[in-house]
Amino acid sequence: MSKRKNRNQSPNIPQSTLDRARQQLGQAADEEAVEAVPEVKAAPARVIEKAEPVVAARPAVERRPRPARTSTTTSRSTSRKEDKHDMNYIRQRLANPTRIVTEADLKAEYSYVMTDLRTMGILATILVIALVVIEKII
């Protein structure tokens, strides 16, 4: 969202345009305003041989020092190597399971999944048949 501009500011229109608009409205142009705006003559640009660094506008005292960075990439790679999820650990866990789950346990716990899959299959079959019938009619 754009920032709302302050409407109390003076317009960004040249003084000559404002004077011409006032004359067209029948108002007298402010001659004092015309005299108050002197013509600015462009001075020739000076040639800079060597650029100087720009000084910060804010004092450096306001900024607190940033703490030194620690090496996180090496700690991440070593923690991955030390992690339990390497291939030997996975093979050992698969060969020696700590909990044995039977098919009857799975059927009892996830019977709703089979019901939902059966319902979706029936619905998909009905919709395909309906599409074929509509295609034959049209």
Q: Tell me, what DSSP letter sits at residue 59?
A: -
| Out of 24-28, 31-35, 76-80, 112-116, least confident range | 31-35
Q: Are 29 and 23 in contact (CB under 8 A)?
A: yes
pLDDT at 4 (0 to 100): 64
Residue 129: band (very low, low, confident or very high) from pLDDT cuts 50, 70, 90: very high
Average pLDDT for the chain: 77
pLDDT at 13 (0 to 100): 82
| Coarse DSSP helix, strand, coil percentages of the chain, rounded to the nearest 5 percent | 50, 0, 50
Q: Are 29 and 19 in contact (CB under 8 A)?
A: yes
Share of residues in the chain with pLDDT > 90 (%): 24
Check: pTM over 0.85? Answer yes or no.
no
Q: Are 15 and 33 in contact (CB under 8 A)?
A: yes
Contacts of 36 (CB under 8 A, 6+ apart): none
User: Which residue did the predictor score with more confidence, 6 or 114?
Assistant: 114
CA torsion sign, 112 to 114 to 115 to 120? Answer: positive
